[in-house]
Copies of this chain bind each other. A is one copy, B any other.
């Protein structure tokens, strides 16, 4: 999405990540946040709710970690990348755990398939941002 990149380019912040990586990560996380929120809602209302309990909780955890990470990346405050790195690490774990659990339900639930895709892409984006931070 062009807009996130444009927004970041209009800020005077000196982030420890360049705006191309920041914008890609933010947009991928936004898509992921929507997917886990919708998927959790779908699992809660489904007939097989009891067997989905772990997947629901992991999706809710993921939505909250992604939200914090997305906003902190948008502010990308100061030259110190320590908080960015730590929040990206937490987000990576949250996305991976949702991905693993929802992948097991992808055959029965279309929302789990979409969610497993979105969390895999978000985990990849976190990994790339972390690699760039440490470069």
Chain A residues engaging chain B, CB cutoff 8 angstroms: 1, 3-4, 6-13, 26, 30-31, 34-35, 37-42, 44-47, 49-50, 52-54, 56-58, 60-61, 63-65, 67-68, 70-72, 74-75, 77-78, 80, 82-83, 86-87, 89-90, 93-94, 97, 109-111, 114-115, 118
Contacts and interface: CB of A to CB of B under 8 A. Distances in A.
A74 B7 contact: no
- Interface of A (DSSP majority class): helix
Nearest to A82: B93
Count of chain copies: 4
B37 A75 contact: yes
A7 B35 contact: yes
A113 to B, nearest CB: 8
A77 B50 contact: no
A44 B67 contact: no
Contact of A10 (B42, B64, B74): B42
A13 to B, nearest CB: 6
